[in-house]
Homo-oligomer: A and B are copies of this chain.
Amino acid sequence: MSGNTFGTVFRLTTYGESHGPALGGVIDGCPPGVPLSEPVIQHELDRRRPGAGGLTGTARREPDAVRLLSGVFEGETTGTPIGFVIENTDQRSRDYEAAKSLLRPGHADGTYLAKYGRRDYRGGGRASARETAARVAGGAVAGAMLAPLGVTVVAYTVEFGGIPARVLAPADAADRPFYAPDPEVIPAWETRAKEAMASGDSLGGIIEVLALGVPAGLGEPVFDKLDARLAYALMGVGAVKGVEIGSGFAAARLLGSQNNDPIVSPPESNHAGGILGGIANGQPLVIRAAVKPIPSIAREQRTSDVSGQPATIIVGGRHDRSAIPRVVPVLRAMTLLVLADMWLLQKTVHG
């Protein structure tokens, strides 16, 4: 439980630094008979790749080609662990040499030093967003398991750089820039992104995840409530600083008579976000996550070097202007991983 394994029965273990030889993972506990192949995973990885999601701003172009190493035979999972690897092919670690002795504000440089007494300073090492590729691969397997059961998960951006979007057609967001749920908001978001880039700055936003077809009953009280596991899953993604379910923080300002969803058919409201007492109630799950602006900005910042001396830094390397487009598929993947695990756990309750 040293932090690199996720899940109880459907379990993803990951490894890999930004500029090491490769990253990858092992999925244990996936039942046999799930149709799976490299293209199924590759399709999801391509969405997460720098440049996908419509927001430019990174020079790094990794093919992120996944290779399946085990656990699949004749096109289906066998029940044994599924190993996969993604080679790092475009590492350019020389870019990062200059900053070897400086701590980047908003990054994990100093905290990795504090924790481990050392750090792989090439491009963030394990703390790099590149780590999330293995999560997306794991989520693709979870999604393949859940798809025939009628569970679908979509994720989209509901606010970017302070500009909110209407949620009109969330299922279409996957093919739009910024994963926008409303095409009309895109020009405003593009303008906002250009402004930030022009001033060497970066932007954050809010992502919503919507899970449909989740059967009532998923969730393991009292500590492994469905919402607790979702919060754990999403807050564990770099750059996420807040998670809420259903009405979330707004619920704190409502009266009980406003926030309670009457139990009627069809449902009239979903303040609960599909979860009561930590257990899915059959309504859609609604989860939102706050994503901070990416800390790598092209402006001089005050910092300290590794020996504690004051310094200034201009963070070089190749960077996105916002984590949003890369985080959207990751949050979707993490939600799928939670649901796959909870689905299997529920089989032990009522199977």
Contacts and interface: CB of A to CB of B under 8 A. Distances in A.
A118 B282 contact: no
Contact of A263 (B22, B217, B302): B302
Interface stretch (A44-52, A178-186, A221-229): A221-229
A144 interface: no
A316 interface: no
Interface in A1-51: 1-6, 8-9, 11, 13-17, 20-26, 28-29, 31-33
A174 interface: no
Interface string A199-213: 011111110000000
A307 interface: no
A336 interface: no
Contact of A26 (B4, B105, B206): B4
A230 B243 CA distance: 11
A232 B278 CA distance: 12
Copies of this protein in the assembly total: 4
Interface in A56-104: 67-71, 73, 76, 78-83, 85, 103
Contact of A272 (B106, B243, B250): B106
A259 B111 contact: no
A126 to B, nearest CB: 4
Contact of A2 (B29, B259, B271, B279): B29
A92 to B, nearest CB: 17
